[in-house]
Amino acid sequence: MRMRRLSSVLRNGLARLARVRQAPRGQSLTEYVLVLAVISIATAGAVALMGTALFNLWSAVGSQLTSVVQSLPFP
């Protein structure tokens, strides 16, 4: 009895999986996930590149401000 029930549950689960896989809605969801993954990877790459550039920019600004402050004639 248990084996029949397990077999029935397994068969029903596989049938549901096949229907979801063949449904257009499932394909649309897969496409959205892939687009989201590409956008996420592109965003992470842009942040990595911009992060280095921004760090270099702020370092240059800090160096210039330090040299300007040191050249001021304070008593």
**pLDDT tens per residue across span 36-70:** 999 999 988 888 888 888 889 989 999 999 999 99
Q: What are phi and psi of 43, to 5 degrees?
A: -65, -45
The pLDDT value recorded for residue 45 is: 87
CB–CB of 54/48 below 8 Å?
no
Token readout for 46 is: 């842009």
The pLDDT value recorded for residue 24 is: 61
Domain ranges for the chain: 24-66
The pLDDT value recorded for residue 59 is: 94
How far is the C-alpha of 15 from the C-alpha of 36, rounded, in Å? Answer: 28
Q: Which run of H or E residues covers position 26?
A: helix 24-71
